[in-house]
Structure 1
Amino acid sequence: MTTSPSATDKSVNPDPRYRKLTVGVCPDQWGVWFPDDPKQIPWQTALDEMAEAGFSVLETGPFGYFPTDPKQLRAEMDARGMRVVAGTGWGILHKQDAWADTERTFRAIGETHAAVGAEYVVHLPPMFRDEHTGEFTDERTLTGAAWDLYIANANRLGRIMKEDYGLQMVLHPHGDSHIETREDIDRIFRATDPAYVGFCLDTGHIVYGGGDNVDLIRTYPDRISYVHIKAMDPAIVRAAHEEDWSFGEAVGKKASVAPPAGEPDMPTVIGALADLDKPLYCICEEDMYPCDPSYPLPNAIRTREFLAQHGLGQL
């Protein structure tokens, strides 16, 4: 069973309008995309710096970056006054021969995260371009049997996560994926079962896909159950689409930025989320793989302080 963000979290704003919104963080804000990569900051350092930046709520990001043993993970969190609210996983849903691996991966994530009291699991859609080379590895658009299987397996995976682990699965939109544009989002959420499939509103990826965050919040108030707070530079996003860059190339050219730079307008989005009047974890992210290891801490502090000034979290 899931719980609501608690007033004991130092990330909860006591202002009545915003008190149901809880700010958190994940490894993406520290330039982490992979479970293990020599270009990434060590997890112990990242966790220390997250706590130093004033965060108490964590999404663990790529499974295997942080310890997967629940006793060790809980001990590391407790030592820093933090708690885990979500896990994250990549999993192919539209190919029959990939299901066994996807199920195995998410069951492992489910076991670890249920044991430490998490409430959500974020399904990140595999991209149709290679993250390093930008080469196409799949079709841009799902049709026919592949589309039908995507929907069936999204429902199937969400049901497993809820019934076996007590976790709410949320689908995450992403650049270079089959859930990127507003058309993709509408198509998927008309077809999936709301009992098992929620929506992770990633504000930056919505901008990357040409969508309107506030309109999505108002259109899907019951499906939005989790949030990633992220901003994008609209000029770089436009160039990425016009010149057909991969998402990885766009990130390398600084498509992802720290608010208040870029879009969407965060105070407006935070206000729209507050108007939903329901508990929401809002997890700070900024795509910056790879990055100078000295950059994430001061950047995260500035971002958290800006968000707090506009209702999300406390100063």
Structure 2
Amino acid sequence: MRIAGAPISWGVCEVPGWGHQMEPGRVLAEMRALGLAATELGPDGFLPGGARERDELLASHALGLVGAFVPIVLHDPAFDPVPVIDRALDGIGGVLVLAAATGLDGYDERPVLDTKAWSTLLANLDAITARAAARGRLVTLHPHVGTVVERRDEVERVLGGCSVPLCLDTGHLLVGGTDPVWLARFAAPRIAHVHLKDVDVGLAQQVLKGDVTYTNAVKDGLYRPLGDGDIDIPGIIRTLEDAGYEGWWVMEQDTVLTDEPAEGAGPYDDVRRSLDFLSRVAR
């Protein structure tokens, strides 16, 4: 298994006011100490903006760059996402993981799209997929809580209405009302990137019903170390591997930190437990 990390597991997030933001030196050092082979980029400003400086920093921790999560508005007919996409393709190696952003800060509210907005979204996804492929690059769409592609009917509309590959995020799918085991079985040929999370189903249902905001649910422990939640992680891995999946498995347990954790505690311990679980699954 090609296992990578993500800064969000250490509480590093693009959302303003998300929580305490750890410095990249410690995050990267802990990733490498845990045996991770690579990382996603993280939010703007976390790693150096220049490709050479960024790659040198990653190399100093013996880490590769697997790709980047890029939230971008794709449904607005008045906004052209291509310049943003081109800059991302020029500056970022690996998989471009798109989220269909709402244009609002955070993930606690979102608009309902009309027919024109949906047509724009699907057309943009097809155009971006083709643009990336022409450059030998891979783009995926990440169904994500608080974006315009969150719920099961929206995921199905994307699958039926355009050709973009998917990033299967086990946690965001479940919180949005899509069974990730079902999606792994139903749409395996479309899945080109995977974020592994485990989830407290009780909290997920509260978010889905609108009883608690997504941000507060994350603070309350929505995401659990792999094996400690309610998702059939081994079943998803087996299904995708049997279907020929050869991409990365990115460890992600989104967390909100209130302060700097002690050495070996907090995110480090949670990711360690998840990796121990994956090791047992692999055996």
TM-score (norm 2): 0.90
Superposition deviation, residue 263 in structure 1 = 2.5
Structure 1 contact 128–176 (Cα < 8 Å) conserved: no
Q: Is 1:84 aligned to residue 65 of structure 2?
A: yes
Q: Is 1:41 aligned to residue 22 of structure 2?
A: yes
Superposition deviation, residue 242 in structure 1 = 2.9
Q: Provide, for residues 12-37 of structure 1, a one-character-per-residue CA deviation record: whole Å limited to 9, x for no partner.
A: xxxxxxxxx31111111111112887
Q: Provide, for residues 136-164 of structure 1, a one-character-per-residue CA deviation record: whole Å limited to 9, x for no partner.
A: 4x42x322111100001111222222324
AA at the equivalent of 1:125: A
Quick one: structure 1 residues 174 and 36, their matched pair in 2 at CA, closer, same or farther if it must change by over 3 Å? closer
Structure 2 contact 175–207 (Cα < 8 Å) conserved: no
Structure 1 contact 173–180 (Cα < 8 Å) conserved: yes
Q: How many Å separate the matches in 2 of 1:227 and 1:273?
A: 10
Superposed CA RMSD: 2.1
Quick one: structure 1 residues 36 and 74, their matched pair in 2 at CA, closer, same or farther if it must change by over 3 Å? farther
Q: Is 1:155 aligned to residue 146 of structure 2?
A: no
Superposition deviation, residue 106 in structure 1 = 2.5
Task: Identify the match of residue 153 of structure 2 among 165, 183, 193.
Answer: 183
Quick one: structure 1 residues 263 and 129, their matched pair in 2 at CA, closer, same or farther if it must change by over 3 Å? farther
AA at the equivalent of 2:56: A
What are the ranges of 5 or more consecutive residues in structure 1 without an aligned counterpart? Answer: 1-20
Q: State the match for 2:231 in structure 1.
A: 264
Q: How many Å separate the matches in 2 of 1:158 and 1:83?
A: 23
Q: How many Å separate the matches in 2 of 1:218 and 1:143?
A: 30
Q: How many Å separate the matches in 2 of 1:149 and 1:90?
A: 16
Q: Provide, for residues 45-77 of structure 1, a one-character-per-residue CA deviation record: whole Å limited to 9, x for no partner.
A: 111111111111211122332112111121112
TM-score (norm 1): 0.82
Task: Identify the match of residue 32 of structure 2 among 43, 51, 57.
Answer: 51
Quick one: structure 1 residues 282 and 236, their matched pair in 2 at CA, closer, same or farther if it must change by over 3 Å? same
Note the 1:1-315 alignment, pairs <5 A.
21-34=1-14, 39-99=20-80, 102-113=81-92, 118-127=93-102, 130-131=105-106, 134=108, 136=109, 138-139=110-111, 141-164=112-135, 166-193=136-163, 197-294=164-261, 295-311=266-282
Quick one: structure 1 residues 242 and 128, their matched pair in 2 at CA, closer, same or farther if it must change by over 3 Å? farther
Q: State the match for 1:18 in structure 2.
A: none
AA at the equivalent of 1:156: A
Q: How many Å separate the matches in 2 of 1:167 and 1:54?
A: 27
AA at the equivalent of 1:43: P
What are the ranges of 5 or more consecutive residues in structure 2 without an aligned counterpart? Answer: none
